[in-house]
Amino acid sequence: MRDLAMQAAGGIAILTAIIHGVLGETKIFAQARIEPAWIKLMLRLIWQCGTVAWVGFGVLLVAAPYMGSEAARLWIAGAAVGAYGVGAISNAWVTRGRHIGWVAMTVASVLALAGA
């Protein structure tokens, strides 16, 4: 059951990250009027750093049960819970709970904790 919780956390994390990246590109940066152009590009790339990091943590969460190391499993879960937890709290606070992202990151955090 721990393995399933850890892998579900990873799957949710990857899905959330992909949605974050796609919506950022199609809804936010496609309509944003940011000048000069290099600043818009820099902001887009910084936005996608979060996407890449969340996908990376998701992959690690999915792979953790196969690593055969309890220490690796705990470190991966702890780092993912820290990253997703801060993201969830920040998102909920800034949007006053009106954005679905904090729910997805909270679920990923809770499942990662359950799988640790």
What amino acid occupies position 89? I
Q: What is the mean pLDDT of each run of 10 residues along the chain (116 residues)?
A: 96 96 92 92 94 96 95 96 94 93 95 94
Residue 55 in tokens: 């996908």
pTM of the model: 0.88
* Cis peptide bond N-terminal to 65, omega within 30: no
Residue 104 in tokens: 């997805």
| Confidence at residue 81, expressed as pLDDT on a 0 to 100 scale | 96
| Confidence at residue 43, expressed as pLDDT on a 0 to 100 scale | 93
Name which of 83, 72, 70, 69 is nearest 9 in CA terms.
83
Residue 17 in tokens: 């990250």
| Confidence at residue 109, expressed as pLDDT on a 0 to 100 scale | 96
Distances in whole angstroms, Cα of residue 84 to Cα of each of 32, 50, 109, 112? 26, 10, 6, 10
